[in-house]
Structure 1
Amino acid sequence: MDTEAQHTERDRSSAPETTESGPEEGSRSARVSGRPEASAFWARISWRRAGLLGCVCAVFLLLLSHFVVQPFLIPSTSMEPTLAVGDRVLVNKLAYRFGSEPRRGDVVVFDGSGSFVRQAPEESPVAGLLHGAAAGLGLAEPDETDFVKRVVGVGGDRVVCCDEGGRVEVNGVPVDERYVYVGDAPSRVPFDIVVPQGTLWVMGDHRSKSRDSRDHLGDPGGGMVPLDMVIGRADWIGWPAGRWSSLEPTAAFDGVPAPGGAHG
């Protein structure tokens, strides 16, 4: 029996494999990748990738909120029961971009500078930028100049409060405002106004808790909101999850004629 040949075969089978780069390269690579220095390096790379991805997502969301849909945090009770404190509504910024204008009954978000707010509060540029970014993502309360209200009158409308039944009239037709907070009167402040062209008359649904066009009757502009200050239409409640829903159009103004007399 050739024992020498058997020993030689066993030695060959147990010898480490060689590559073009030299023997045992695979085992060396495995040992290197297991070193603490290598693990720390790959961890740094992973964190950088995660940070870059986060920045890209944040920029995308900011661009989306600036041009298309913006989350808006409801800070007060002025629009109850339609909107509650803490709701995040999604404001459709394209609703009035292509020739369309706000209609009676729309819930709109607008910049009240010059109408509801005579002068914007001063703040540092950095603080303003950070707050604007957070508000644009729905993570902070909106600017003090931003408001959310319901459109009750559009350009040319005559809006009167109140008729013999205590209701708001638009162009001579009483409006059945079922969205108004239960127990509230349509208005405790009497008014009789004609809405100038290019502006809106707006009111909150919780009339006793809302500072709206009625409160600025004596101010320059008479409480009217210029169309070019409208940011968009509130179309959906996006948060909290239990209140996910769309804001359905109201039929309250369906019987109201256009200012010229024809039904709109």
Structure 2
Amino acid sequence: MAHTVVAQTLPSGVPTGLAGLEEVALRTLGFFVGAILIYTVGRLLVVPTVAGLVRSRNRNNPTIETATETYVHVLVVVAAAVAGVIGAGYGGALTDASIVIAAISLVVGAASQNVIGSLVSGLFLIADPDFNVGDWIAWSGGEGTVESVDFRVTRVRTINNETVTVPNTELTTNALTRPYGRERYRITEQLDVAYADDAELALMTLVETAREDDRVLDDPPPNARIVAFGGTALTIQAEYWVSDPMDVNLVEVRSDFRRRVKRRFDEEGLTLGPASTHELSGDLSVDVAERVDAE
């Protein structure tokens, strides 16, 4: 006796039984085929093409190039998701304004205020012509070379070759220092010498010591100056430049300079970091009280 399988339908309109499983499988297959197809085309064709066009028009602005790749990639992901929905047979839901508004409201409500602020800050950083990938920047939390600007954070490579992810809001709400340019980095060293020492000799010694290092650039040349008159010592400062901070070990350069300065100052008889001395004057008197024991 033959058996007939009848697909039942739930009150919600969702089919059950073998026919229902077949329909779910077809819709799932349609989603993945549509999404993978659009994503592949976008990732292999659209993103490189748009990035190449932006690169050809903005050769001196790598920030725009990296940001374009990031944002276009996100658009490709969104387009792939939409294509998957259409491939699954739910394209009509996308035309329902109430559903779209509800989905957007859900996304915005789920996102925190900090995330939205970081996203907006990232857009401002990308649009800023004075903030670019490859620049050396210094802020209240550190310093380093900008590697990329993403939606939420900016990645910075530090002196120690460590990657730091800095929230975009921190870079847009705090002061940034970028005095070094892209191809060189200025190193500043301050030290104290005694007032009794020859200040001109100390300044000249600092300049000569900096020039002894092959990693120090000749243009601009090293220089030294007096920056402050302290209570017990004279504060002088040496400035010299090296190439791209990512090409040299700044920690090693600083350490080698300080070692040579210490040796040269000892040879020249200059007092490095003199101890604080204060002269006290006055009288000191002591009264001795006699104690008489009562008998």
Q: Please indicate, yes or no, whether the TM-score normalized by the shorter chain is above 0.5.
A: no
- Structure with bigger helix share is 2
Q: Which has the larger radius of gyration?
A: 2
TM-score between both structures, scaled by the size of structure 1? 0.33
Q: Which has the higher contact order (CA 8 A, sep 6+)?
A: 1
